[in-house]
Every structure is written in structure tokens, then in C-alpha cells.
Structure 1
Amino acid sequence: MIFRIFILLIGLALTVTAAEARRVALVIGNSAYQNVTQLPNPRNDAADLAHGLQQVGFEVLLKNDLDFDALRRALRDFSDRAVGAEMALVYFAGHGIEIAKQNYLIPVDARLKTDRDVQFEAVPLDFVLSAVEGAKSLRLVLLDACRNNPFAGSMKMTNPNRSIGRGLSSIEPTAGTLVSYAAKEGTTADDGEGRNSPYTTALLANLTEPGLEVNFLFRKVRDHVLNATGGRQEPFTYGSLPGKRIYLKPPQQNAGDQNPPVTQQAPAKSLDREVWETIRDSKSPGVLQAFINRFPDSIYATLAKAKLSEVHQAAVVNDPPRQIDPDQGAGDGMPNGPWAVVAGSYPRSQQWKANQRRDWLRQNGVWARTVDTDNYQNLRNGLWAVIVGPTTRTVANRQLGAVRRVVADAYLKRAR
């Protein structure tokens, strides 16, 4: 029943959200570079900015340590989400490179042994701009990718007319698009000595300020970074916006204010946040797992996974391992017999995972049990197994089809 209510809540939230202005964001933190020194901060920067964007109403996809294929795929998929949205934002923290006046984002698996390799191993900034172009009101690209290029020293130049610049080169985005660099053209940005880079620290400090119009937000970010770095690093924003005021967080209207400022409607909560606030106190494994399956890229999915782990660990404590009579009936009215459908096996320390699989099967209409394999002579001992049965071979064969619709790798086994 709780699971059905949760599904109804998702359906209701989808209906409401579709009618309201949507804000979508793709946040990427590339730290674990495989062929140059790793960067300590981009993963932190991405996680913290994702949280900040959630606070101002964005639906956020958080991605870390993307290789070439994953980075292109993430941008392609996000471009579909951006179509028709009121605002679309892409944030990238990691390495970038400018070569022959073209800007590229560098995936974690890039080698860049020669200048020719850049166009085959890095992702052009134009791809990022294309990913946000479907938004109606505001398109934002934030690049904390102007760090000193670690590939330049070892890169072999094959074309004498092709040059590598410091940082990123200037661009001219289309109207309604802003592109913010952590450091202006031809200069590099600091990674930072604390948890976050100076640029992302400045973004976090100003992102949720009520009534801060977008253009002024980036002016304040510029001043913040200049002060923090003693003038060594100056962010720069390229592009232009229409004549209306645009806010990430609208101004707060004071009581009795006869002339309130012109503002946009306050953004609706993102769908994943709205559903999470509804089910966050649930102790039902099915509800939590359904949320994880529905919103796998949400920052709230991490909280749901932690909550689910706590629920299963508590189940193990409250339901300690016990001897199970191998001769007891198969349950659910099935006749007793030697054959079982095995839907998973787990080490002794992971009974909670076995119970999670069992619960998932039951929620999908399959009566499964968690059993101690030591009680079954033909099952590998020393494990917890999730089984349907044991029963007759005819019944077990019939059950196998139902189980495989939920767990594809289930198999038939003579248990005793």
C-alpha cells in the first residue's frame, strides 16, 4: 500500500511540475585524471554547487569523473532535458584547454600526446553551448576549467600554425546565454587550498542571495574572487541577456510594500526534492528503492541509499540469523519439494542485501525467502540465498519465469 501511494505521489508531482517553470542543471566535477596529476577540488566543487542549485529550485544531475564517452553522453542526454525549460545550466570543474582559439573540456581519460589529439580526446565548448540552447529564458554555462594546462609541457606540436593558449579564449555566445569563466581570457585559475576553488566559493556565497539579479550575481562573484586571490584571478562573463530582470532567487517582498520589485515567480521545488521531502522519514525498503530507481542521478538518491542501508542494517539487528528448517513448506501455498528458484546469493556479512532482494521480489508479487544455505545440501554453503521454494520441479519451472521478470539472472537449482 505504501509503495502504491508513493507511485501516486510521483504521478501527481509530475503533473504539477509539467505545468510550472522548470530549471535544470548538469553539474560535472572531474578530479580523477588518469594521465596527469589529479585535482583535489572539482568533486567537492560539483557536490556543493549541486546542493546550492537545488536550494534555488533546479533539478540537478550530478556527474563526477567523466571519460570522453560519458561526458559526451551526459551533454547529449541533458540537451533533451533542457528543451522547453525556463532555465538550463551546465557547470564544469576540471581541466580545459584552448588550442587555435578553440576551447575544449578535458575528460579524465584524455592523453593529449599531440595537438591533433585534442579534437579526438576532448569535448568542444560548442557541445556544451548546444546542450543548453533549448531553454527559453536563461542559458548558463559556468566553467571552473581555466586551470594551468598540465598537458602543454608534454604535448607534441604537429602544426606550427597551431598555438596553445593559457586558460581559455574569449567567446561570443548567442543572445540569452551567459558563459562565465573562472578566469578571464588568457589567464589561469587557482584550484584552491580549501575544500572549494576561489571561483566556486564565490558562486556558493552569492547563489542563494534573494533579489540578486543574474548580471549582478556574476559581478559580485568577480569581486569576491579578486579579493580572495589578491587580484591574481579575475572571473569574466561573456554574453548578453534581454531587458527583463532575471533572478535565481527572487527578492523577498516586505509586508506593506506598496511597490514591490518586478520579479519572476518563485521557482517550484524540483520533483526529486518534493518527493524526497514526502518520503524521507519512511522506513519502507520498497519506497526508498523506488525513489532511487526513479531519480538515480539526484543528490537525494545518495541520502535515500544511506537511509535504505540503515533500514536493512536495523532489520538484521532486529531479526538476527536463525536456523531455518529445510523441510518447512515453500510458502504461498506451494507444494513442498526439492527444487528452488535462486534469485541471489550473498556473503554472511550481507544478510541485509539478501533481505533487500527478497523485499523487492515480494513487492513485485513474488513470494521469496532469505535462507541459510548451510541447511540445503545442494546449495553452496556459507551464504544467504534468496529463493522461491523449495517445491516441485513443475511449480519451480513455472515460478522461474515470474522471478526472471524481476531478477534477470535467476536460475533453477535442486536445493536438496
Structure 2
Amino acid sequence: MLSRLAIAVCFLLAALPAAARNLALIVGNDSYQNVSKLQKARGDAQGYADFFTARGYDVFLHLDLDGRGMTEAVARFLDAIAPGDTVLFVFSGHGWSNGRENFLVPVDIRDSGSETLIQRESFPLKNGVNGIIDEIAARGPALTVAVIDACRNNPFAFDSGTRSSGLARGLVRIRPPTGTFIAYSAGEGQTALDRLSDSDGEAHSVFTRVFLKELARSNELQTAFKATQASVNELARSVGHQQRPAYYDEVIGTACIAGTCNGATVEPLPVTAPVKPTPETATPRVARPNAAEEWKDFKDTTSVAALRLFIERHQGTAYAALAMERIARLEEEAAAAAAPVQPLPQQNQQVYAPVAPTGLRPNWCPEAQTPTEVVICRDARLATLDMRLTAVYLERLYALDSTARAQLKENQRTWLADRDRCGADVQCVMQAYQERIAAFGG
């Protein structure tokens, strides 16, 4: 009887789903054989490994991987992922872009050749098929976080006569899968500093030294990264360089690196070169609890009025400063526009031909996919209507309580789906926007 009970218990235990794990693949490549060597990538990798090991991650740490070694390391890591796991991928080393996709570079990469050949010997980050992030996503993790410090100068010299004009200085934006947070050490087209100077004795690159410090203060990724963004930007400016880390967030809700988030939204501490330890007695200023959450809805808007509304609500926070910075950028773009926005046609007009766009368009236009999105970005009148709708929508959204706000967001998603049924019909899209703006009282 006891033996039967024991067997039954064993079957029950075997049927239980395995507990989700926290897994991290961390690669640091310094010792490049044919292209310029780096000084901080291995130190970066070791820093991330120590940090995440201390927080309960199963860490797969690899240093100075050649092409075969990187293939094996990625394959073994993919085999370890089970549905529901939290997955972290960190790469520090050389990377490059062909203007459409980003590639990570093993230490035995050749220093010259055609773009096609170099691409074959590199590792795609995400291409929709077999990029590293694509293959991680196919395993069904609950959360994927990628930290890419590979935005350094393009190390290759391509053979004359081959196509190389598509190469970018830094890495380009990619659209991450749902449930994925991608952090880059520099913005699109920018390059990341390996060090501040030849005498820089820090063990980590400029981005990593700040990011690890901010993660230790708050394991909520969005909060830690915004603080990192501001501090790295200031450090880079101190040596005459432009570097503003970028992140692309397709995580629903808050992304935390270990368990529950452990702190309030904190404004970044001022950082001067070189980075010095923060005194324990320093008291950081705490932002309003909902500033970070609301900034997600405002950060890409092209409406100055909406941004000023955000500043009024969150005066004195780091996010208000970001809103002011975005207003300045939008005003510069507006001043540089080649022609004024043409007035909207009269209601009795029957023919609606696309109007050439001016310099000011919705911020999402580089990622336009549907026929409706494409025609909006190509037509100045539709672009203007989209920005006007964004302003009145956000103003209405943040006048509501949380329950009504969620309902309005769902209603807006339904409207967007209805709008996209217009396809590339300019008149249909224009009518949809005019009716929606009128419904908001705009």
C-alpha cells in the first residue's frame, strides 16, 4: 500500500510544472583578433554576471567568443529556456548595422570583405527568423531583457567596389517582440564610449558602470534605465561626445529584474566624469509615483500642448525634464520644416490627393506598417490630424481616474482598428480623425 502511494506521489510530482527560472546569457568580447580591440567588454560582462548571480539568476558567462564558440553558447542557452522563464541576454563588444538589422561580432571576425560576407560571420540580434532575440522569444519566456553594449564604431573596412553605403555608425531601432525590453548603450546612429579617456581606470564601460549602479538602486527596469540615460548623456557631454542610451519596451506593465520592484521612481543623481561612488548620506529626490507610468504615454507624442500638460502634473521630476527636452526638439523640427502645413480641405471637396509631408510628423512614422499608417505619414493634413488627436486624447485620458482611463485606452484601441479599415483611402482616414477629434471636443 505504501509503495503504491509513493508511486502515485511520484507521478503527481512529475506532472507539476517546473518552477520558472531566471536565466542570463552574458557575453563579453574584448580580444578581437583582426579588428580593433576593446578594453572594457570583459569587465562589463563580469560585472553583469556578479550582479545577476547575486540576485538568483543561473548565469551563462562567456568571454572572448569566436564564431563557433558563440554559436555553441547561444545554442546551449536556448536549450535551457523553458516557457515562463525570465531571460536576460547581455552582449558587450563590437556590433554593426546594415541600416535595417543589427549584428553582434565574435572575436575572430575578419577585418574586411563584402558586407554579405561579414554579415554571414556575424550574429543577427533580431531579424524575424533566426536572430538571437527571435529564438529566445520562440521558447515562450515570460519576460526577455536584452542589454546591448555594442554600439561602438564600425570596425570594418570593406573591399572597394562592394556595397557598404548601408552601414550605420551605430545600431538601429528594432521592434521587439511582446514581453521584451531591449536596452542599447547608445541611441540610434550614435556610438558608445568604451571609456572616457585613455587614463580611465574604471572596470566598466561608461554605460555599464552607470546602469549597474542604477539597477542596484531600483530593479524596475524603466526607472533604472531613465536614470542611466540622463547620467550617461551628461558623462558623454563632459568629453565632447553624444551618447544617449535608448530602450525599446514591449513589456505590458512594469518590468522587474528580480521578484517585485524594490523602490520608488528615483530621479538620477548628477554624475560628473569620472564616476565617483555616491555618498551613503545623499538623499535622492523621489518623483511622484505615477510619473514613470504616465511618461510611457507621453514620451512619443508630437504634441507640445500634451507635453506641457505633463510638465504641469509632474513639475520637479526627472520626467518633467525629459518632457521639456522633447518640447525643445519638436520646436527645432518645426522651425526646420521646409513648408507650412497646408490647411484642411473644405468638407465639400470630393478629391483628396496626398499632400507632401512637412518636417513634423508623428513620432511613430519610422515604424509605420499598415497602409493607413503609411498614408498618414505621407500626407501633411493627416499627420496634423493625428498629432491633434493625440493631444486631445492625452488631455482627456489624464483627467480620468484609473478605471475610466483603462476603459478609454481600450476604446481608443478599438477606434484605431476601425481607422485602419480605411486602408490608404485619404478621405476615409480624414473623416475618421475629424469625427474622433469632435467626439473629444477638440
TM-score normalized by the length of structure 2: 0.50
**Contact 1:90 1:132 (8 Å CA) reproduced:** no
CA distance in 1, matches of 2:140, 2:216: 21
1:203 counterpart (208, 211, 214): 211
Give deviations 1:122-165, integer Å, cap 9, x for gaps.
Answer: 111122203421243210111100001121xx212544485111
Structure 1 range deviating more: 80-89 or 105-114: 80-89
Mapped partners of 2:153, 2:164: distance in 1: 22
SS in 2 for 1:25: strand
Q: State whether structure 2 residue 193 is matched by structure 1 residue 219.
A: no
Q: Deviations over 1:22-53 (max 9, x none)?
A: 10000000001000221111111101110001
Deviation at 1:66, TM superposition (A): 0.6
1:41-120 to structure 2, matched below 5 A, reads 41-114=40-113, 115-120=115-120
Amino acid at match of 1:113: S
Percent identity of the aligned residues?
32
Larger relative contact order (Cα-Cα within 8 Å, sequence gap ≥ 6) = 1
Residue 156 (structure 1) aligned with residue 124 (structure 2): no
Per-residue displacement from partner, 1:85-138 (whole Å, max 9, x unpaired)?
421011000000111422110110001422221222111112220342124321
Query: 1:63 aligns to what SS in structure 2?
Result: strand
Structure 2 CA distance, aligned partners of 1:95 and 1:248?
Answer: 28
Cα distance change of structure 1 residues 252 and 203 upon mapping to structure 2, 3 Å threshold = closer
From the superposition, tell whether residues 135 and 24 of structure 1 become closer, same or farther in structure 2 (CA, over 3 Å).
Answer: farther
Summarize deviations over 1:315-350 as a string: whole Å, max 9, x none. xxxxxxxxxxxxxxxxxxxxxxxxxxxxxxxxxxxx
Alpha-carbon deviations, 1:337-371, whole Å to 9, x = none?
Answer: xxxxxxxxxxxxxxxxxxxxxxxxxxxxxxxxxxx
Q: How does 1:226-237 map to 2 (within 5 A)?
A: 226-230=233-237, 232-237=242-247
Larger Rg: 1
- Could you tell me which amino acid in structure 2 is paired with residue 214 of structure 1? L
CA distance in 2, matches of 1:80, 1:181: 25
Distance 1:232 1:136 in 2: 35
* C-alpha deviation, 1:252, in angstroms: 5.4
Q: Distance between the aligned counterparts of 2:214 and 2:165, measured in 1?
A: 39
The secondary structure found in structure 2 opposite 1:120 is helix
Pair 165,208 (structure 1): closer, same or farther in 2 beyond 3 Å: same
Letter in 1 for 2:215: L
Structure 1 residues 252 and 180, CA gap change in structure 2 (3 angstroms): closer
Secondary structure of 1:146 counterpart: coil
Deviates most, 80-89 or 52-61:
80-89
Question: What's the offset of the Cα at 1:225?
Answer: 1.1
Which amino acid is 1:46 matched to?
A: A
Q: Which moved more, 1:96-105 or 1:79-88?
A: 79-88
* CA–CA separation in structure 2 for the residues paired with 1:222 and 1:63: 27
Q: In the alignment, what sits opposite 1:408?
A: none
Q: Give the letter for the 1:209 counterpart.
A: R
In structure 2, C-alpha distance between the alignment counterparts of 1:53 and 1:26, rounded to whole Å: 10
Matching residue of 1:123? 123
Contact 2:171–2:190 (CA<8 Å) still a contact in 1?
Answer: yes
C-alpha distance in structure 2 between counterparts of 1:73 and 1:215, whole Å: 32
**Change in CA separation of 1:216 and 1:69 when aligned onto 2, cut-off 3 Å:** same
Where do 1:317-328 residues align within 5 Å? Answer: none
In structure 2, the residue matched to 1:246 is: 256
Matched to 2:134, the amino acid is S
Q: What residue number does 1:376 align with? A: none
Change in CA separation of 1:57 and 1:209 when aligned onto 2, cut-off 3 Å: farther
Q: Contact 1:82 / 1:131 at 8 angstroms: preserved in 2?
A: no
Distance change (3 Å), C-alpha of 1:185 and 1:90:
same
Residues 35 and 161 of structure 1, relative CA distance in 2, 3 Å threshold: closer
Tell me: CA distance 1:249–1:217, structure 2 relative to 1, closer, same or farther (3 Å).
farther
Please, which runs of 5 or more residues in structure 1 have no aligned partner? 1-14, 254-260, 262-416
Asked if 2 retains the 8 angstrom alpha-carbon contact of 1:75 and 1:131, the reply is no
CA distance in 2, matches of 1:102, 1:245: 25
**Structure with greater proportional strand content:** 1
Residues 165-211 of structure 1: CA distance to partner in whole angstroms, max 9, x if unpaired? Answer: 1111110011111111100110100001321101111221022335x
Q: Which structure 1 residue ranges, 4+ long, deviate > 6 Å from structure 2?
A: none
CA distance in 1, matches of 2:164, 2:215: 42
CA displacement, residues 252-292 of structure 1 (integer Å, 9 cap, x when unaligned): 59xxxxxxx9xxxxxxxxxxxxxxxxxxxxxxxxxxxxxxx
Query: Which position in structure 2 is the counterpart of 1:174?
Result: 177
Deviations 1:377-410 (A, max 9, x none): xxxxxxxxxxxxxxxxxxxxxxxxxxxxxxxxxx
**Deviates most, 197-206 or 212-221:** 212-221
Cross-structure match for 2:31: 32
Residue pairs, 1:314-393, within 5 angstroms? none
Q: Aligned letter for 1:120?
A: R
User: 2 CA distance for matches of 1:148 and 1:217?
Assistant: 26
Contact kept, 8 Å, 2:104 with 2:125, in 1: the verdict is yes
- Give the alignment's Cα RMSD to 1 decimal: 2.7
Provide the residue aligned with 1:335 in structure 2. Answer: none
CA contact (8 A) 1:24 1:85 kept: no
Q: Are the equivalent residues in 1 in contact too, given 2:20–2:82 (CA < 8 A)? A: no
TM-score (norm 1): 0.53
Aligned partner of 1:137 in structure 2 is 142
The answer to whether the 8 Å contact 1:100/1:162 transfers is: no
